[in-house]
């Protein structure tokens, strides 16, 4: 079946075609018809399968049929997402599909002033895409009315639970009508997710897209055994060996992200970082620069591993192996998207062997080891522009940097 065969608005069909969509993915094929019929959905599908379009297309059509309410502060659909980046991405998809349609869409999240968001709400909005914190701020202040809500969408529900938003989700249910359509999407299903889902949805249609291999076939994997303190030399070498590639590098903590960035800058490699300490403006500008190719190395914590669609990422580097095995799948899912091929390279220090075993157990396969002989290993260290720096000097430089930063803030 093709998108043009669905019973939806001709303008919506045109917008879908302009985005290059011809045939629906599995999750879209199975989700769109029941959503159009106003059924509740429990959708389980890994990242990169086209989940956002699976609910955005039928939700837009259903809102069109409901017609504009134009009531101050009242909205007809709320889409909840765990992070700023994912909320902005979902909003972008809704905006693209609703072009030239009488539908008003607003993305609300923290880290920015409420004023513009409040103005838009008072002018009339149909669909709000929101992170939990800002959603409740606007509701408690009386700017966002949920009493006439028709559609509730929870995206990346498992990630919202991991981030501690379960109370927010349950609180939300107190303010919205019991008679509504609920679309619940999650990358994983476990007893906690199942319990939450069935407390929200009513007689849902369960749709599960779960390939035998949780990792996309379009991604090639390799693992390099390297000492913890030598990882920066191997990242430098990969950057130099692949001068045209866009590379997304995952580390375990935000402090480590900044240290790796500093190490790359010492060898004249431009890098950007994204993590929870960044302001909303910084995160937005960073994503924009990386997506456009202005910077080809982005160093990130796992905040960027879930749901974010970054085009044309050639290589994902697990600089640090993730502590949660399932995050390996989310990380490497940033490359090899759609019809493209991608590579995932993991650095494994002796201290991370247990994490490696957990990952292999989770994906049901061993990670192919890229053997490096002593000569190549030594050459990588010796030819680095930063070969004589040690971690003590890095820590000292970082401390100086943080003190300088604090002084500038005080001024």
**pLDDT for 305:** 59
Q: With 60 as the cut, is the pLDDT of residue 272 above it? A: yes
**pLDDT for 160:** 83
pLDDT in tens, 211-259: 555 666 788 999 999 999 999 999 999 999 999 999 999 999 999 999 9
Across 188-202, 283-297, 341-355, 372-386, which has the greatest mean pLDDT? 341-355
Residue 298, beta-bridge partner list: 248, 272
Across 79-88, 244-253, 383-392, which has the greatest mean pLDDT? 244-253
pLDDT band at 387 (very low <50, low <70, confident <90, very high): low
- CB 62 within 8 Å of CB 76: no
Q: With 50 as the cut, is the pLDDT of residue 306 above it? A: yes
86 against 400, higher pLDDT: 86
- Tell me what the mean pLDDT of segment 310-322 comes to: 92
pLDDT in tens, 322-360: 998 888 988 898 888 766 789 999 999 999 999 999 999
Q: With 90 as the cut, is the pLDDT of residue 269 above it? A: yes
- Tell me what the mean pLDDT of segment 272-286 comes to: 86
pLDDT in tens, 7-33: 999 999 999 999 988 899 889 999 999
Taking the C-alpha atoms of residue 403 and residue 331, their distance in angstroms, rounded to an integer, is: 32
- CB 333 within 8 Å of CB 326: no
- Tell me what the mean pLDDT of segment 357-367 comes to: 91
Dig out the tokens for 47 from the structure. Answer: 């990242």
Q: With 60 as the cut, is the pLDDT of residue 400 above it? A: no
- Tell me what the mean pLDDT of segment 304-322 comes to: 83
Its CATH class, for the domain covering 219-410, is alpha beta
Residue range 3-209, CATH number = 3.40.50.300
List b or e across 141-163, with b for residues whose CB sees 16 or more CB atoms inside 10 angstroms: eebbbbeebbbbbbbbbbbbbbb
Query: Going along 190-338, which residue ranges are E strands?
Result: 205-209, 219-225, 247-250, 272-274, 297-300, 315-318
276 against 245, higher pLDDT: 245
- CB 94 within 8 Å of CB 56: yes
Task: Please check whether the two domains, 3-209 and 219-410, share a CATH topology.
Answer: yes
Helix (H, G, I), strand (E, B) or coil at 198: helix
Indicate the pTM of the whole model.
0.72
Q: What average pLDDT does the structure give for the chain?
A: 86
Residue spans per domain, the chain? 3-209, 219-410
pLDDT band at 39 (very low <50, low <70, confident <90, very high): very high
For 66-70, 279-283, 310-314, which range has the lowest pLDDT when averaged over its residues?
A: 66-70
* Number of Cβ within a 10 Å radius of residue 137: 16
pLDDT band at 391 (very low <50, low <70, confident <90, very high): very low
- CB 140 within 8 Å of CB 117: no
For 78-92, 114-128, 306-320, which range has the lowest pLDDT when averaged over its residues?
A: 306-320
Q: With 50 as the cut, is the pLDDT of residue 363 above it? A: yes
Q: With 70 as the cut, is the pLDDT of residue 409 above it? A: no
Alpha helices in 98-174 (DSSP H): 115-123, 132-140, 157-162, 166-173
Q: With 50 as the cut, is the pLDDT of residue 394 above it? A: no
**pLDDT for 182:** 94
Q: Which helix (H) or strand (E) holds 129?
A: strand 127-130
pLDDT in tens, 44-60: 887 667 889 999 999 99
- Tell me what the mean pLDDT of segment 314-319 comes to: 96
**pLDDT for 397:** 53
pLDDT band at 64 (very low <50, low <70, confident <90, very high): very high
| pLDDT over 90, % of the chain | 47
């Amino acid at each position: 079946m093709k998108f043009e065969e669905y019973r939806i608005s001709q303008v919506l069909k045109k917008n879908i075609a302009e985005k290059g969509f011809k045939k629906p993915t599995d999750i879209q094929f199975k989700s769109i018809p029941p959503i159009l019929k106003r059924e509740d959905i429990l959708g389980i599908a890994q990242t990169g399968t086209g989940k956002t379009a699976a609910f955005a297309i039928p939700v837009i059509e259903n809102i069109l049929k409901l017609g504009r309410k134009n009531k101050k502060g009242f909205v007809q659909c709320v889409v909840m997402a765990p992070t700023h980046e994912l909320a902005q991405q979902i909003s972008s998809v809704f905006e693209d599909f609703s072009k030239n349609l009488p539908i008003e869409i607003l993305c609300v999240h923290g880290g920015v002033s409420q004023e513009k968001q409040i103005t838009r709400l008072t002018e009339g909005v149909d669909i709000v895409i929101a992170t939990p914190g800002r959603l409740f701020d606007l509701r408690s202040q009386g700017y966002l009315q949920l009493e006439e809500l028709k559609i509730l969408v929870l995206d990346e529900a498992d990630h919202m639970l991991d981030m501690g938003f379960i109370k927010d989700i349950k609180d939300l249910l107190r303010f919205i009508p019991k008679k509504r359509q609920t679309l619940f999407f999650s990358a994983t299903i476990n007893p906690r997710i199942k319990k939450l889902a069935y407390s929200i949805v009513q007689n849902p249609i369960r749709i599960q897209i779960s390939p035998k291999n949780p990792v996309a076939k379009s991604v090639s994997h390799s693992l390099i055994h390297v000492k913890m303190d030598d990882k920066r030399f191997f990242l430098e070498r990969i950057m130099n060996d692949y001068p045209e590639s866009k590379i997304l590098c995952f580390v375990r903590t935000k402090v480590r992200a900044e240290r790796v960035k500093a190490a790359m800058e010492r060898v004249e490699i431009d890098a950007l970082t994204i993590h929870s300490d960044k302001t909303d403006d910084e995160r937005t500008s960073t994503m924009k620069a990386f997506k456009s190719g202005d910077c080809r190395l982005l160093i990130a914590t796992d905040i960027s591993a879930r749901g974010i669609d970054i085009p044309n990422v050639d290589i994902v580097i697990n600089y640090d192996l993730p502590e949660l095995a399932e995050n390996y799948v989310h990380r490497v899912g940033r490359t090899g998207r759609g019809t493209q091929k991608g590579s995932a390279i993991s650095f494994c220090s002796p201290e991370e062997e247990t994490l490696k075993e957990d990952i292999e157990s989770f994906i049901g396969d061993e990670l192919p080891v890229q053997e490096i002989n002593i000569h190549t290993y030594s050459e990588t260290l010796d030819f680095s522009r930063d070969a004589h720096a040690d971690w003590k000097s890095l820590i000292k430089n970082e401390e100086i940097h943080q003190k300088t930063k604090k002084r500038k803030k005080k001024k």
